[in-house]
Amino acid sequence: MSLNKINIGILLGDPSGIGPELISKLLAKKITNKVNIVVIGEKNILENGEKISGINNNLKIVKNFDQINFDDGNKFFLDISKGKNHSYTLSECSKEAGESVLEALDLALELAKQNKIQAINFGPFNKTSLKMGGNVHSDELHYMAEKLGVKDFICELNVIDNFWTARVTSHMPISEVPSHIKKENILKPIKLINNTMRLSGIKNPRVAVQALNPHAEFGKEEKAEIIPAIEEAKKLGINADGPLPCDTSFITAYKNKKYDCIVGMYHDALQAGLKAFGFDRGLSVQGGLPIPVTTPAHGTAFDIAGTNKANLEPTLQSFKIALTMAENKSKE
């Protein structure tokens, strides 16, 4: 019986990118038999992905969630086509692709609110198509947070080789960053990454905190805000340390394995290190949401869409983390 398993909602990703073929490959992996799976999307997008991958997963197709009986199996496809049979052009942004992704995402989030699924794993989205399709937010995380009514701190957490990162600020001009470097703002991602990593199975994460200024000394923010935030984190029982100079932080923390994660002050201080050391195998956790939501860190890869060359590993690892987090959350 499959009734006592975790239910995970899986989204195909942008129909013009590599998502559908990756999800087709993912569903053929043995680990997906450990859970109940509801793939949400349009049937023709699923079929296109299977055609590219050469894999037919024989999913049981339903029109609404109430038709699913996990006693009959653990993998279902929830078809949202409703008579639509749109032909999506590979490697091309479009309003229709964005609308399709948002419709599937909206349904997954609604099912999550009803506790019918306990985690979401999705193929890569395309931010341009999402915007064309109606997303008014800067990214999908803020879209999801609004739909789920989240008011607390949220942050995309990136992971390579089980090494995690979080940031105080994200998509903003570098000139605006210093005004946001305040003790209370720094504490938020420290606490978030610590709690999320614990949920993923890392019992006592070693949290490194980056500096803002060169060599952690050419400015006032380290002494005035960053060090006090680290000290406060330690009082809360968090294994925090720093500040580490940005230019060597990934060598110290990731390459030399002295820490399990880094909290940075701004976007590029983290992303440059991540992408240099292994962005092609990274994944993202949508931090701060009430359920685990994960995805590969790479994009829709229009340059190889339809060629069956996409690397499954980031998608597989993102699924595994979603599963582990959901299982641990169910025990709370």
Binned average pLDDT, 10 residues per bin, the chain of 332 residues:
79 98 98 97 98 97 96 96 92 98 98 98 98 95 97 96 96 95 98 98 97 95 98 98 97 97 97 87 96 96 97 97 96 85
270, 211 Cβ separation under 8 angstroms: no
In a shared domain, residues 254 and 313: no
For residue 195, the domain's CATH number is 3.40.718.10
15 cis-preceded (ω within 30 degrees of 0): no
- Res 279: pLDDT: 75
Structural domain tally of the chain?
2
In a shared domain, residues 17 and 142: yes
Q: Distance between CA atoms of 19 and 285, rounded to whole angstroms?
A: 17
In a shared domain, residues 107 and 176: no
Query: Is 235 domain-assigned?
Result: yes
Query: Is 58 domain-assigned?
Result: yes
Query: Is 32 domain-assigned?
Result: yes
In a shared domain, residues 142 and 49: yes
In a shared domain, residues 263 and 145: no
168, 189 Cβ separation under 8 angstroms: yes
pTM of the model: 0.96
In a shared domain, residues 84 and 121: yes
Query: Is 283 domain-assigned?
Result: no
In a shared domain, residues 94 and 189: no
Structure tokens given for 212: 């803002």
In a shared domain, residues 85 and 30: yes
Residue-range definition of the domain harbouring residue 230: 155-276
- Res 1: pLDDT: 35
Query: Is 247 domain-assigned?
Result: yes
Element (H, E) at 227: helix 227-235
314, 280 Cβ separation under 8 angstroms: yes
In a shared domain, residues 93 and 217: no
Query: Is 237 domain-assigned?
Result: yes
Beta strands in 47-141 (DSSP E): 60-62, 75-79, 119-122
Instruction: Kindly state the greatest CA–CA separation across the chain.
Output: 64
Element (H, E) at 286: strand 283-287
Closest CA to 46 of 12, 18, 74: 12
Q: Distance between CA atoms of 285 and 292, rounded to whole angstroms?
A: 7
Closest CA to 106 of 146, 70, 138: 146
In a shared domain, residues 146 and 293: yes
In a shared domain, residues 21 and 123: yes
108, 13 Cβ separation under 8 angstroms: no
Query: Is 1 domain-assigned?
Result: no
Query: Is 282 domain-assigned?
Result: no
In a shared domain, residues 167 and 249: yes
**H runs (alpha helix) in 114-204:** 127-133, 140-148, 183-199
Q: Distance between CA atoms of 129 and 15, rounded to whole angstroms?
A: 10
